[in-house]
Amino acid sequence: MEHHESLFAEPVTWVVGAFVVFFILFGRILWRALAGMLDNRAALVRAELEEAAKLRTEAEAMLRDAEKQRVDALAEAKALIDGAKAEAARVAAATTAEAEASARRREQMAMDRIAAAQKAAVDEVRLAAADVATEAARQVIAEGLSAEGDASLIDQAIMQLPSALARKAA
């Protein structure tokens, strides 16, 4: 008694068949949906990679610009420092020259004052000597000189006249 059941009587056959029909009918739709999702994800990843590459390029450009600005700023700072040093040296030299000139002017003024004081002292001594000589001469004349004394005094004065004129000219 063999009992033969047909292939279509087996539930496994119907499950396999239903599975095959399901994939035939919905497989294409599911494949399109999955492929679309994967394509969308790939496009999104591609767009993110392109954006990342663009941002990297921009960041590298900004880094180059920042480095150039840093180099330029360092060069400008060095130039400013060198200029300030040169200006300080120039001001120091000018100040030193001005101080030396001022010291020379003050020294010359002091020398001029000393010379003027010496001349004034000599003039004062000469005036005092002239006053003393005049007074002495008046006393001598007042006491009276004889004619011979007068003549010898005049002769002596005439002889001393050239040397007195030479001293006065000097």
User: In this predicted structure, what is the pLDDT of residue 33?
Assistant: 87
Neighbours of 153 (CB within 10 A): 14
Which residue bears the tokens 């060069």? 75
- How much of the chain, in percent, has pLDDT values that exceed 90? 49
- Whether the CB-CB separation of 145 and 153 falls below 8 Å is answered with yes
Measured distance CA(40)–CA(104) in Å, rounded = 93
**pLDDT tops 50 at residue 97:** yes
pLDDT band, very low/low/confident/very high, at 5 (cuts 50, 70, 90): low
- Whether the CB-CB separation of 7 and 13 falls below 8 Å is answered with yes
Task: Provide the mean pLDDT of the chain.
Answer: 85
User: In this predicted structure, what is the pLDDT of residue 1?
Assistant: 45
Which residue bears the tokens 């150039």? 68
Measured distance CA(66)–CA(38) in Å, rounded = 41
The half-sphere exposure of 148 on its side-chain side, counting CA atoms within 13 A, is 0
User: In this predicted structure, what is the pLDDT of residue 145?
Assistant: 63
Measured distance CA(24)–CA(21) in Å, rounded = 5
Model confidence over 100-121: pLDDT tens digits? 999 999 999 999 999 999 988 8
Tokens linked to 118: 């010496």
Neighbours of 145 (CB within 10 A): 13
Model confidence over 23-66: pLDDT tens digits? 888 888 888 888 999 999 999 999 999 999 999 999 999 999 99
Measured distance CA(161)–CA(166) in Å, rounded = 9
